[in-house]
Amino acid sequence: MAEAGTGERKIKVLIVDDSAIVRKLLTEALAGEADMEVVGTAPDPYIARDKILSLRPDVLTLDIEMPRMDGLTFLQKLMRFHPMPVVVISSLGQASSKIAIEAMQCGAVEVLAKPGGPYSVGELRHDLPHKLRAAAYARPKKAVSPAPVVPPPVPAGYAAANPATVIAIGASTGGTEAIREVLVALPASSPGIVVVQHIPPVFSNAFAQRLNDLCQIQVREAVDGDRLTPGLALVAPGNFHMTLAKRGGEYRVAVHDGPRVCYQRPSVDVLFDSVAAAAGSDAIAALLTGMGSDGAQGLLKLKRTGARTIAQDEASSVVFGMPGEAIRLGAADRVLPLNRISGELMALSALATR
């Protein structure tokens, strides 16, 4: 086992992609990372299977479109028999993006775009090590069929959301499925919802479309100037910050460029800070699974303005970094397992209508 310069164990990475050029680019993108080691590469899932057993990598990068066996089928088998952290590396086509989001449902913990077109090799060198570090901390579980969604009971006396109430949700590693579990259980009469999930461009739109197909509420990728209304969830586009403002008694979002915050764009802190300023005590916020600390300071700011705040607990988090940091700061009013967060959001929303 190789050792990093600090004496800590290196993260062992196996790269699985049918393109020799992509395998070379990914390997070179990690060459300067002192805490990582590419222990092998594989051009297809059959060779990858043998190398997983012989090399015992900590994390796998996985292409979706491959010969002999497609990446999604391989991922399903892998998560059933040998669950491990997987980062999907996908092309940016619409069909590929949808399959990449499906891969997250099957157990992949992160998704990243292949270099080419709008996504440069320079961005890959920045994003790939971060994604792999986050994945290495993940606790993947054996794939199981999703349980039927049982929406929490609508609180007594709750008919429609108070239009002043806003729900803000932030997540990163493991968050696509966590957000799905929360939103799919909410009724169409829910307050307006703003969501930041750390996810690359194009994939964020596929993510929002998939949620819209599954949820009772409407879900779409945010566009600059969108009005936030009850029964609507707006997802921040990849590589853009999203903020909320209140004008003339209604909420609108702004989508804009800007420096990364906590290494992220979109940033949960950027969203939460704006929600604190726009909605204050009318806000309800939940910080879900994710690597790092993005959102923790924003959740604390929300709590200090009178908002109701929730952090996902450690046992149900794929990575406990973001909610754990919020709890350490005292930013969370409630610490809940994922399967109780939807019900708590509705209960708190009901209090806002009284």
Annotated active-site positions, please?
172, 198, 294
Instruction: Give start and end residues of each alpha helix (H) in the chain.
Output: 20-30, 45-55, 71-81, 94-105, 121-136, 175-183, 203-214, 268-279, 296-304, 321-329, 338-352
Residues near 28 by beta carbon (within 8 Å), at least 6 away in sequence? none
Contact indicator for 4, 35 with CB cutoff of 8 Å: yes
- Of 226, 73, 81, 221, the C-alpha closest to 140 is 81
Give the β-pairing of 227-228 and 166-171.
unpaired
10 Å Cβ neighbour count for 222?
24
Contact indicator for 210, 98 with CB cutoff of 8 Å: yes
Tokens, residue 119: 């996504």
DSSP for 293-334 reads: STTHHHHHHHHHTT-EEEEE-TTT-SS-HHHHHHHHHT--SE
45, amino acid identity: P
- Of 344, 169, 339, 196, the C-alpha closest to 262 is 196
